[in-house]
């Protein structure tokens, strides 16, 4: 393989394989073909087993992981696992290794996994992209929020705080009362659309954003990978790790990122935020909202 292929730090292993493939050696292409055709199986193989199944050597497999931008085989295998988990059905997730039956250690692992997702999200967050996304939200005439299925709960949370900070100019596209397209039909170039999409990616969300794009609002995507189906549709993308560990969607890191967005919007105009919360406190006290 002549020359070095440069990869986006957030790109997943399959994207890297596709990008590097034309320049791989015959042996490396053999390993790459095996991995893409047996992703779930390969993600749980030791380096020796992968070499054996591809009729290559450990050194050849290790060289491929380096060519793909990984520091070693452990990091490469973690990337393989993350890619394979995104494609699993909910039923398949139930039988993932380490979760065959109940144990308190498996519960600890859930918490550790969420902690790692937040750490990885922080480490890979693009500060310039974050700034652009925050300013697009703050300067929008109307902010439309879009998500489906479990991600819709995150949208409700985001809408609550943004409506306080932005004077009620926030609409949830999939609010249960109207079709998303009916809400988004009013979007213009003065608006912003924030869309959340995590595995298993909803076709409804993709369809809605494809429609919204025709209205020319700024589209801010919050998703997990550069291979997400909404990635290329957005003006700005913030990546939040959602590496699946079992049958429940892992949305802790995305929720943490939403907290950062809310605080970011609030700090841009701190005096307005102060006025909003002063009025809220007065209203809460007057109406005895809290004991």
Rounded to the nearest 10 degrees, the angle between the axes of helix 270-286 and helix 151-165 is 100
What's the pLDDT score for residue 197?
92
Q: How is residue 51 written in tokens? A: 């070499």
Q: What is the pLDDT, as a whole number, of residue 144?
A: 97
The confidence score (pLDDT) of residue 187 equals 94
Of 195, 219, 222, 234, which is closest to residue 136 (Cα–Cα)?
A: 219
- 162 or 35, higher pLDDT: 162
Q: Does domain 13-87 have CATH number 1.10.10.10?
A: yes
pTM above threshold 0.85: no
Q: Write the DSSP assignment of 122-191 as a string of letters.
A: HHH--HHHHHHHHHHHHH-SSEEEE--TTHHHHHHHHHHHHHHHTTT-EEETT-SSS-HHHHHTT--TT-
Q: Does 122-286 match 13-87 at the fold level?
A: no
d(CA 103, CA 238): 35
**Cα–Cα distance, 178 to 150 (Å, whole number):** 18
Mean pLDDT in residue range 274-285: 92
To which H or E segment does residue 197 belong?
strand 192-197
CATH of domain 122-286: 3.40.50.10490
The model's pLDDT over 84-133, given as tens digits with 9 standing for 90+, comes to: 655 555 545 555 555 566 678 777 878 887 888 898 899 889 999 999 99
- Per-position b or e across 231-258, b if 16+ CB within 10 A of its CB: bebbbbbbbbbbbbbbeebbbbbbebbb
Q: Which of residues 275 and 88 earns the better pLDDT score?
A: 275
Please say if the pLDDT value at position 78 is more than 60. yes
Angle at which helix 73-86 crosses helix 13-20, to 10 degrees, equals 110
Contact 243, 117 (CB under 8 A): yes
198-251 pLDDT, tens digit each: 877 888 899 999 999 999 999 999 998 777 889 989 999 999 987 665 656 678
Phi first, then psi, for residue 241 (nearest 5°) are -70, 135
| Strands ordered across the beta sheet of 192-197 | 170-172, 143-146, 192-197, 218-223, 236-239
- Given pLDDT bands bounded at 50, 70 and 90, which one contains residue 1? very low
Q: Which of 246, 236, 251 has the alpha carbon at shortest distance from 193? A: 236
Q: Where are the domains of the chain?
A: 13-87, 122-286
Cβ-based neighbour number of residue 12 at 10 Å: 19
């Amino acid at each position: 393989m002549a020359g070095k292929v440069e990869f986006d730090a957030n790109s997943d292993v399959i994207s890297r394989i596709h990008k590097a493939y034309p320049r791989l050696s015959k042996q490396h292409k053999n390993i790459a073909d095996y991995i893409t055709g047996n992703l779930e199986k390969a993600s749980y193989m030791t380096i020796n087993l992968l070499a054996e199944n591809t009729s290559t050597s450990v050194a050849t497999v290790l060289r491929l992981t380096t060519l793909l931008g990984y520091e070693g085989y452990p990091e490469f295998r973690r990337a393989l696992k993350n890619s394979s988990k995104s494609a699993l059905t909910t039923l398949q997730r139930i039988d993932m290794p380490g979760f065959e039956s109940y144990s308190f250690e498996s519960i600890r692992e859930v918490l550790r996994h969420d902690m790692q997702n937040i750490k990885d999200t922080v480490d890979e967050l693009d500060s310039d992209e974050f700034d652009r996304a925050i300013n697009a939200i703050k300067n929008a005439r109307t902010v439309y929020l879009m998500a489906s299925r479990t991600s819709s709960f995150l949208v409700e949370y985001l809408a609550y705080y943004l409506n306080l900070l932005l004077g009620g100019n926030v609409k949830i596209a999939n609010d249960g009362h109207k079709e998303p397209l009916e809400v988004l039909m009013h979007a213009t170039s003065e608006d912003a659309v924030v869309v959340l999409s995590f595995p298993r990616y909803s076709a409804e969300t993709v369809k809605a954003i494809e429609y919204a794009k025709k209205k020319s609002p700024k589209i801010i995507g919050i998703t997990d990978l550069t291979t997400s189906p909404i990635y290329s549709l957005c003006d700005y993308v913030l990546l939040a790790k959602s590496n699946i560990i079992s049958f429940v969607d892992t949305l802790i890191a995305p929720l943490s990122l939403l907290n950062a967005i809310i605080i970011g919007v609030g700090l841009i105009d701190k005096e307005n935020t102060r006025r909003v919360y002063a009025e809220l406190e007065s209203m809460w006290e007057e109406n005895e909202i809290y004991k």
